[in-house]
Amino acid sequence: MGVVIESSVWEPSSFVYVFIFLSCFLSLAFFPYYFSKHAPTKSTPFSDNSTSSSSLRFQRYFLFLYSLAAVLEGLWSVYGEFELVYYGVSKEDTVSFLCIGFGVALFVGSFLGLLSDLIGRKKFCLVFCILHLIVGIWKRITSSPSFWVANVCLSLATSIFSFGFEAWAVDEIEKQGHRQDVLHETFWLMTFFESAALIGSQVIGNWLVGSGNLEKGIASPSTAAILLAIVGIIVMSKGYKGTPRSMTFKDYRASFCACVLGDRRIWLVACAQACLCFSVAVFWILWAPTLVADGRGVYLGLIYPCFLGARMSGSTVFPWLINVSLRTEDCLVYAFTIQGLLLSIIAYDYQEIGVLVTQFSLFHVCIGLILPSLARLRTMYVPNELRGGMITLSLAPANAAILIILMQRGYYRAIENSTMIAFAAIGLFIAAGCMHVLKRCGKQPYQNWHKL
């Protein structure tokens, strides 16, 4: 009598999505009650009393555009690999595309923030939409598109996305005179809405590609990107004008050298940002190969929203923590350390799929807390007129490290996936150390209004 072995494909339970949704809902629903009990002399950040009508209008306007930009970013990241496989691109060429992308981000994207500080942040946000529009049109008008052109444009767009919208929001809110409360709320809402928009981009991409004929459906996301980019350009052009730049290049260079390159506090924040970006990039490159190791079957499309939902939950923790006595640097020390420990376990210990997904989700909960916390530290220590240049230069070491690791792994097979994850864990421990040193440095005289 033969033995029949049934193959199974692992997928997360529906309870996971319910738990993530309830976590976000309860965190947002109970925060006003907690805030009124523990800070009765202040207005709740979720009420209209904390901000003027003009700042509320801009916040809603900005979050709409930021979510639209996140959907554009997500459309390409969700189905990009599937598109490469459809057009017959080999794994070696895929590695080349990744290397070219990070190379463009390193050698060109590192200077875009400097230009945005001089030219204007909103103009660069418009360039972001224009780049996505060019890529969408390029893929629609060519039967077999050149992915080299698309890859360069998308890499530049991703570099702008990493700094442009944040710098523009801080610029506009600072101009209106509502800095502290509105900025804190905007930072975590950016992370929250970005994660939700990335989940939405997965839904849109799967619906467009999977509906009807695959030959027609493969180009549908490009059409959606064209429409979304046009909407973004129109709304951005008719909205707020942004703050004009009055600083000359000579004055900007002198200020940048004195305030950014000459302040070790900013160096510590930049180092932590670079370590986080490096670790997150390594995660997104290796999370799928780690789950399907040894031929394990997994529904990757169902796990992707778990990670982003976990990041949404982590972002809702941020407004709770900034209203307690715990300093931002302390929160980041704990979050970076937890992330480093999680990746260390993943790197050198074989795990079942359920345990791995849990660890990956906790990793993203920490990301949801870290991103707005680092944005808060940048507001504390970095002059706003230098913010874009500081962010892009802080990402340069991360892009360089990722480029080196991709070349060593993709072309020379010199390192293993577990070693790459271990490097990411070491980077997170370094980031935790930077935050510990930053705490010992004390307050930055540049902005004494901020409560640590």
- Does residue 310 form part of some domain? yes
- Does residue 33 form part of some domain? no
Residue where a domain terminates, one of 200, 217, 246: 246
- Does residue 21 form part of some domain? no
- Does residue 450 form part of some domain? no
Let me know whether 153 and 235 are in one domain.
Answer: yes
- Contact (CB, 8 A) for 231 and 214: no
Instruction: Give dist(CA 330, CA 452) in Å, integer.
Output: 10
Mean pLDDT of 400-427: 88
Let me know whether 294 and 215 are in one domain.
Answer: no
Tens of pLDDT, residue by residue over 140-192, are: 887 666 778 888 999 999 999 999 999 999 988 887 765 677 788 899 999 99
- Does residue 449 form part of some domain? no
Mean pLDDT of 370-396: 92
- Find the DSSP H helices in 144-247: 147-176, 180-210, 214-217, 220-238
Let me know whether 346 and 414 are in one domain.
Answer: yes
Write out the residue range of the structural domain in which residue 304 sits: 248-442
- Does residue 1 form part of some domain? no
Let me know whether 346 and 438 are in one domain.
Answer: yes
Reported as half-sphere exposure (CB side, CA atoms, 13 A), residue 53 has a value of: 0
- Does residue 26 form part of some domain? no
- Does residue 38 form part of some domain? no
Confidence of residue 41 (pLDDT cuts 50, 70, 90): very low
**Nearest-CA neighbor of 112 among 378, 382, 396, 403?**
396
Let me know whether 264 and 219 are in one domain.
Answer: no
* Number of structural domains found in the chain: 2
Residue where a domain terminates, one of 201, 226, 246: 246
Instruction: Give dist(CA 222, CA 110) in Å, integer.
Output: 27
Nearby residues of 18 by Cβ (< 8 Å), 6 or more positions away: none
Rounded alpha-carbon distances, angstroms, from residue 172 to 49, 58, 239: 19, 8, 12
Let me know whether 343 and 415 are in one domain.
Answer: yes
Let me know whether 253 and 227 are in one domain.
Answer: no
Instruction: Give dist(CA 144, CA 135) in Å, integer.
Output: 13
Let me know whether 288 and 327 are in one domain.
Answer: yes
User: For the domain that residue 83 is a member of, what is the CATH number?
Assistant: 1.20.1250.20
Let me know whether 253 and 386 are in one domain.
Answer: yes
Let me know whether 155 and 261 are in one domain.
Answer: no
**Nearest-CA neighbor of 126 among 200, 59, 49, 65?**
65
Residue where a domain terminates, one of 246, 279, 309: 246
Let me know whether 70 and 93 are in one domain.
Answer: yes
Rounded alpha-carbon distances, angstroms, from residue 351 to 78, 130, 347, 360: 25, 43, 10, 12
Both tokens of residue 332? Answer: 């980041």
Tens of pLDDT, residue by residue over 102-145, are: 999 999 999 999 999 888 889 999 999 999 999 999 888 876 66
Which residue type does 354 have?
A: G
Let me know whether 271 and 378 are in one domain.
Answer: yes
Q: Residue 316: is its pLDDT beyond 50?
A: yes
Rounded alpha-carbon distances, angstroms, from residue 28 to 53, 317, 343, 390: 21, 9, 29, 32
Both tokens of residue 160? Answer: 């702008």
